[in-house]
Amino acid sequence: MKTRRIIAILSLFGVLCAGISCSDWTETEVMDQEVIRPDRQDPAGWAEYVADVTAYKRSEHLLAYACLQNAPEPSTSERDFLRSLPDSLDIVSLQRTPSSADLEDLPRMRELGTRVLCPLLPGEDAAAVGNRARKQGFDGVALQAWTAPFADLGATLAALGEVGMVVYEGDPLLADPTC
């Protein structure tokens, strides 16, 4: 008798669960999400915050330098974007060719006083990268010699031209000692 009662209760519970799961409130819906950035939420507060961040960056402090595995096109995560980095960073070196999202984030980084470097890998056309860095508004170029040296570092630097800050990333033993 107890077994039948348990089976009846479980059956009733299963029917109720099946009825609830077919309800409209369990169906997924596409919802528009509008991200409202802090500068649009409270412009006065944002201006004060930016003034504080830039004052800090102008003061004497240890520089914070970071390399960002920036977003490939298309990105799957917010972590791939410049806008997701801490505002206290002084210099950011992109590790991939800049995407359209990186270019969109450059004005915000400039507003916060963060310098962004365009990548140059060994074997790439240094003159073309230098032109791109100037045209797109980067603060300089990061020479990325993590896995291979630059064949002629002096010629690479000459081909870059005036690009602002130039940073060598990689094993210093791979660098030409005369440069």
Per-residue pLDDT tens over the stretch 80-134? 888 888 999 999 999 988 888 888 889 999 999 999 999 999 889 999 999 999 9
In percent, the amount of the chain with pLDDT more than 70 equals: 92
How many alpha carbons lie under 13 Å from residue 164 in its C-beta half-sphere?
19
- Cα–Cα–Cα angle for 98, 31, 99, rounded to 5 degrees: 5
Give the global pTM: 0.75
DSSP secondary structure string for all residues of 37-97: -HHHH-HHHHHHHHHHHHHHHHSS----EEEE-PPPSSPS-GGGSGGGS-TT-SEEEESS-
Question: Confidence band (pLDDT; 50, 70, 90) for 20?
Answer: low
Q: Which pair of structure tokens corresponds to residue 175?
A: 């660098």
Question: Confidence band (pLDDT; 50, 70, 90) for 179?
Answer: low
Between 46 and 19, where is the model more confident? 46
Query: Residue 28: is its pLDDT beyond 80?
Result: no
